[in-house]
């Protein structure tokens, strides 16, 4: 058994590796099989009730192989589902557990996918970090034993992302093989890589078993989240390109698939909680004058919310701050030709709130014990139907009343005391997953009631940036860290899986509020326009020169937005390997490309950097342009730019950057 490569392995019957699933019958006995396997081919992918999963048009075929594993005694049926997507070199996988018997079954572990293969020196690539340092890159060898990472924080987390990849030792950004597995899920997950004594390698990815148990009553079924497995013979960039296209075309809400994203202003780092209507109107006037298209009012507009200690749950506008209400501010903003956006944090409740006074039982808690606060707030119990109903009604009506076309949906703490007195004892271990299902129900209801509204997810920055949330919200606030140099690492790592069009990226003030560093405005602009460009600083106190520079950045962004948001993104130099970062975008016809090179330090008299580009048409002649006009119409063939490279101009300061445009003849 141990020698074998299993498709979906289980323990206790001679296979001693980390199992893909584990389950017991109502008497507490394991179910060891044997399983009778029946294949079935369908022309459509079966739905995953309550879970986001890859989208297909109604007219589209999504041929799916189902492997039914039937166990005779217990009535257990496990169905493994495989939907190949050749356009992305991908396979979608999920698993359904059904109880067709008369006794309850208890599920302890239900991975979305498991992959056994011989160990051949492969390495692991995954994303790790923390608040304000999300999705840094980690590449490691696979030693004998079990390695695992994941989240038990209730959300996919700042610490790890639900993704891992296998690489051959020689795989780089542009060549070599890579195999990725990513989960469409926003809650606790585990990723496991086990190399056993026989040098067999097993990868598992799915809901974290540590915080999971599920009772399957007779007639019930349980569906795992969907995993997206992708193969690239073209290195890590090739893997990213396939995931980027997959996420844009199969995950994001269809309405936003092709929609250009607006340049926004957000008042958070400009004012924090301390603002008044007149001041916001002044900021809006300046924003409009700079060319900004969307004005976002962040935290602090409701209840008595003058700090993070109160009012979550009391979603009525604070008239002392905003005498004209949201409508008054909104019409001022709209009269300046901009859209109006609003911050909300629906999943939370402050102890200091009207809602908590009325409904103290609505938060996740263990009866008789005080639930621990995080950022002074408690988490609403989304397993309760009445709580979900309240949220859906509250936020659909806010969106009906306020003239907003954008919502920033925040979530600022991890889950703790994860219990719901509304559920019976045997279902308490289900609360983590039920919370996620509840969240998806609420997100589905609110976003589909307002399909015109652009939602941006946020979780203390990028704490829940995953395909589950992106299914409802086509962009995400990548990190609370807005420092340009920190952002290079964060955005580089994030781009391994997620396309730039989902990454919110803002120019902020210097010294930077998170790390205290000062970087040039040009570099802050270049880092931010590498994602969805925004500005988050006191724009009313800028100098004339700074305003002019920002206007130029925004003009440039608008002019090249199609390329930046929908072009093929390629990483060239990694900030994890030195002081330089470079990346580029190429359009579908390979006629236009944009390159940005960043260097954290300036050194005296260094030889000029020659940067090898990628993704160009080798035969085409490209004209190089840069803002400093240093190239004066120099022309190079694509193969020269990709093999010999392009000589870059010098950076003129620490944290400098250079932006170059290539135009094919
Ligand atoms: C955390 C977010 O990441 C910030 O951008 C900001 O919206 C604050 N929450 C507001 O409380």
Q: 215, 106 in Cβ contact below 8 A?
A: yes
Q: Are 19 and 10 in contact (CB under 8 A)?
A: yes
Split at pLDDT 50, 70, 90, the class of 397 is: very high
Q: Is the CB of 352 under 6 A from ligand 1?
A: no
Residue closest via CA to ligand 1's atom 11 equals 299
Model confidence at 629: pLDDT above 80: no
| 408 CA: nearest ligand 1 atom | 7
Quick one: which atom of ligand 1 is closest to the CA of 308? 11
> Sorting pLDDT into bands at 50, 70 and 90, what band is 33?
confident
Q: How far is CA 317 from CA 387, 394, 496, in A?
A: 21, 13, 40
Residues 87, 627: Cα–Cα separation, whole Å: 37
Identify each DSSP E strand in 288-338 by its residue range.
Answer: 294-297
Q: How far is the CA of 623 from the centre of ligand 1 (A)?
A: 42
Residue to mutate, 270, 272, 347, 460, ligand 1, most ligand atoms under 8 Å from C-beta: 460
Cα(375) to centroid(ligand 1), Å: 11
Ligand 1 touching residue 480 (CB < 6 A): yes
Q: What is the three-class DSSP state of 316? A: coil
Q: What is the dihedral of CA 619, 620, 621, 625, to 10 degrees?
A: -130
Q: Which residues are catalytic?
A: 410, 480
Ligand 1 geometric centre to CA of 345 (Å): 9
- Decide if pLDDT at 156 tops 80: yes
Look at residues 397, 408, 399, 395 and name the one whose alpha carbon lies nearest to residue 294: 408
- Whether residue 28 has pLDDT greater than 60: yes
For 97-144, write each residue's pLDDT tens digit: 999 999 999 999 999 999 999 999 999 999 999 999 999 999 999 999
Say how many Å lie between the CA of residue 270 and the centre of ligand 1.
12
The 10s digit of each residue's pLDDT in 56-98 is 999 999 999 999 999 989 999 999 999 999 999 999 999 999 9
Strand partners, 21: 10, 110
Residue 412 CB less than 6 A away from ligand 1: yes
- 302 close to ligand 1 (CB < 6 Angstrom): no
CB 491 within 8 A of CB 531: yes
DSSP 274: -
Q: Kindly report the number of other CB atoms within 10 A of residue 423's CB atom.
A: 16
Looking at ligand 1, which atom is closest to the CA of residue 477? 3
Is any atom of ligand 1 closer than 6 Å to the C-beta of 356?
A: no
Is the pLDDT at 494 greater than 70, yes or no? Answer: yes
Q: Is 60 exceeded by the pLDDT of residue 1?
A: no
301 lines ligand 1 (CB under 6 A): no
**3-state SS record for 435-458:** HHHHHHHHHHHHHHHCCCCEEEEC
Please tell me the predicted confidence (pLDDT) of residue 322: 98
Question: Nearest Cα to 89, choosing from 239, 244, 252?
Answer: 239
pLDDT tier, 631 (very low <50, low <70, confident <90, very high otherwise): confident
Average pLDDT, integer, range 491-509 = 98
Q: How remote is the C-alpha of 340 from its chain's centroid?
A: 24
Phi, psi of 493 (to 5 degrees): -65, -45
> Does 409 contact ligand 1 (Cβ within 6 A)?
no
Work out which ligand 1 atom sits closest to the CA atom of 298.
Answer: 7
In percent, the amount of the chain with pLDDT more than 90 equals 95
Residue among 298, 341, 408 whose CB has most ligand 1 atoms within 8 A, to mutate: 298
Query: What average pLDDT score do residues 168-179 get?
Result: 98
Q: Tell me how far apart the alpha carbons of residues 624 and 642 are, in angstroms, rounded to a whole number.
A: 14
- How do residues 566-614 score in pLDDT, each as one tens digit? 999 999 999 999 999 999 999 999 999 999 999 999 999 999 999 999 9
458 CB near ligand 1 (under 6 Å): yes
Question: What is the rounded average pLDDT of the residues 180-203?
Answer: 97
Q: What is the mean pLDDT of residues 633-652?
A: 94
pLDDT for the residue 3: 61
Band of pLDDT at residue 648, cut at 50, 70 and 90 = very high
**pLDDT class of 652 with cuts at 50, 70, 90:** confident
- Number of the ligand 1 atom closest to the C-alpha atom of 459: 3
Mean pLDDT of the chain: 97
Whole-number pLDDT of residue 451: 95
Tens digits of per-residue pLDDT, 225-279?
999 999 999 999 999 999 999 999 999 999 999 999 999 999 999 999 999 999 9
Whether 343 lines ligand 1, by a CB cut-off of 6 Å, is yes
Q: How far, in Å, CA of 201 to CA of 141, rounded?
A: 12
Q: Tokens at residue 253, please? A: 């809400």
Cα 336 to Cα 162: distance, rounded to the nearest angstrom: 41
CB 200 within 8 A of CB 3: yes
User: How many whole angstroms separate alpha carbon 331 and alpha carbon 339?
Assistant: 9
Of 267, 297, 348, 458, the one to substitute when testing ligand 1's pocket (max ligand atoms within 8 A of C-beta) is 458
State yes or no: pLDDT of 318 exceeds 70. yes
Ligand 1 within 6 A of CB of 297: no
User: What's residue 632's pLDDT?
Assistant: 79
353 in helix, strand or coil?
Answer: coil
CA of 457 to the centre of ligand 1 (A): 11
Q: How confident is the model at residue 13 (pLDDT cuts 50, 70, 90)?
A: confident
């Amino acid at each position: 058994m141990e020698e074998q490569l299993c498709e979906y392995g289980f323990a206790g019957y001679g296979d001693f590796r980390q199992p893909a699933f584990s389950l017991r019958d109502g008497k507490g006995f394991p179910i060891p099989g044997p399983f009778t396997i029946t294949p079935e081919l369908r022309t459509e992918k079966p739905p995953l009730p309550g879970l986001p999963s890859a989208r297909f048009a109604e007219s589209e075929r999504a041929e799916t192989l189902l492997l039914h594993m039937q166990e005779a005694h217990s009535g257990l049926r496990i169905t493994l589902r495989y939907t190949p997507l050749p356009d992305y070199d991908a396979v979608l996988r999920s698993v359904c557990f059904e109880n067709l018997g008369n006794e309850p079954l208890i599920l302890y572990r239900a991975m979305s996918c498991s992959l056994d293969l011989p160990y051949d020196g492969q390495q692991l690539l995954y994303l790790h970090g923390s608040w304000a340092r999300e999705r840094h890159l980690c590449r490691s060898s696979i030693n004998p034993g079990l390695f695992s990472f994941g989240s038990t924080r209730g959300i996919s987390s700042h610490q790890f992302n639900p993704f891992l990849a296998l690489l051959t030792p020689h795989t780089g950004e542009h060549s070599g093989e890579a195999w990725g597995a990513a989960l469409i899920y926003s809650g606790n997950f585990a990723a496991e890589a086990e190399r056993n004594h026989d040098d067999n390698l097993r990868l598992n990815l799915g809901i974290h078993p540590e915080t999971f148990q599920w009772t399957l009553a007779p007639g019930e079924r349980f569906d795992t989240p969907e995993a997206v497995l992708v193969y690239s013979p073209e290195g890590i960039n090739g893997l990213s390109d396939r995931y980027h296209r997959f996420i844009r075309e199969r995950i994001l809400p269809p309405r936003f698939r092709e929609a250009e994203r607006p340049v926004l202003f957000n008042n958070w780092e400009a004012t924090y909680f301390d603002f008044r209507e007149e001041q916001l109107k002044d900021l809006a006037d300046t924003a409009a004058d700079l060319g900004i298209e969307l004005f976002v009012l962040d935290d602090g507009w409701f209840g008595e919310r003058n700090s993070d200690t109160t009012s979550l749950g009391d979603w009525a506008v604070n008239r002392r701050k905003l005498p004209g209400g949201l409508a008054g501010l909104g019409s001022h903003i709209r009269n300046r030709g901009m859209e109006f956006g609003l911050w909300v944090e629906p999943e939370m409740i402050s102890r200091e709130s009207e809602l908590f006074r009325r409904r103290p039982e609505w938060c996740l808690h263990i009866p008789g014990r005080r639930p621990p606060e995080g950022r002074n707030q408690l988490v609403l119990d989304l397993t309760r139907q009445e709580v979900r109903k309240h949220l859906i009604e509250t936020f659909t009506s806010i969106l009906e009343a306020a003239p907003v076309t954008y919502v920033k949906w925040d979530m600022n703490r991890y889950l703790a005391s994860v219990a719901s007195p509304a559920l019976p004892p045997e279902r308490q271990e289900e609360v983590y997953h039920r919370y996620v299902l509840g969240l998806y129900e609420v997100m589905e209801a609110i976003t589909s009631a307002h399909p015109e509204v652009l939602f941006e997810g946020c979780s203390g920055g990028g704490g829940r940036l995953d395909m589950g949330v992106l299914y409802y919200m086509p962009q995400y606030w990548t990190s609370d860290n807005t420092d340009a140099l920190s952002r290079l690492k964060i955005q580089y790592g994030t781009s391994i899986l997620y396309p730039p069009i989902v990454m919110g990226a803002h120019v902020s003030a210097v010294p930077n509020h998170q790390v205290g560093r000062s970087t040039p405005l040009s570099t802050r602009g270049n880092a931010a326009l590498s994602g969805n460009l925004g500005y988050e600083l006191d724009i009313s106190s800028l100098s004339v020169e700074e305003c002019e520079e920002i206007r130029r950045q925004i003009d440039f962004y608008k002019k090249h937005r199609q390329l930046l948001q929908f072009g093929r993104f390629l990483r060239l130099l990694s900030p994890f390997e030195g002081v330089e970062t470079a990346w580029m975008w190429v359009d579908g016809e390979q006629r236009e490309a944009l390159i940005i090179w960043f260097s954290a330090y300036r050194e005296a008299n260094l030889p000029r950097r020659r940067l090898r580009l990628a993704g160009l048409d080798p035969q085409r002649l490209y004209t190089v342009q840069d803002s400093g006009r240093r190239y004066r119409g120099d022309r190079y063939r694509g193969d020269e730019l990709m093999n010999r490279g392009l000589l870059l101009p010098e950076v003129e300061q620490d944290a400098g950057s250079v932006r170059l445009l290539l135009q094919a003849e």
